Amino acid sequence: MNKVAVEIKPGELVFTLPDQIKDTEILAEMERKYSEYTEAQDAYFRQNNTRSMPVEVAATFPHASEVDNDFRSSLEVASFFHIKPERYSAYFNAKATPHTITTWTGELLAVVTHESFTWTNNFGAKFSAFRCVGINGDNYAGLRCLSNDSDLVRFKKLKSKPQVIVTYK
72 and 110 assigned to the same domain: no
Q: Residue 169: name the closest of 18, 21, 1 by CA.
A: 18
What is the band of 156 on the pLDDT scale with cuts at 50, 70, 90?
A: very high
Residue 11 burial (CB count, 10 A):
8
Q: Is residue 1 predicted with pLDDT exceeding 60? A: no
Share of the chain above pLDDT 90, in %: 65
Q: Provide the pLDDT for residue 125.
A: 87
92 and 158 assigned to the same domain: yes
Please tell me which residue, 162 or 132, carries the higher pLDDT value: 132
Mean pLDDT value across residues 15-40: 90
What is the band of 22 on the pLDDT scale with cuts at 50, 70, 90?
A: confident
Report in angstroms the alpha-carbon separations of 159 from 44, 62, 83, 137, 141: 43, 41, 16, 12, 10
* Number of domain units in the chain: 2
9 and 55 assigned to the same domain: no
Q: What is the DSSP letter of 59?
A: T
Give 105-136 pLDDT, tens digit per residue.
999 999 999 999 889 988 888 999 999 999 99
Q: Is residue 140 predicted with pLDDT exceeding 70? A: yes
112 and 64 assigned to the same domain: no
Question: What domain range includes position 34?
Answer: 19-77
54 and 114 assigned to the same domain: no
47 and 108 assigned to the same domain: no
28 and 9 assigned to the same domain: no
Give 45-69 pLDDT, tens digit per residue.
999 999 898 999 989 999 999 999 9
Mean pLDDT value across residues 5-34: 89
Q: How far is 116 from 114, CA to CA, in rounded Å?
A: 7
For strands 5-9 and 139-145, give the pairing. unpaired
Q: Is residue 137 predicted with pLDDT exceeding 60? A: yes
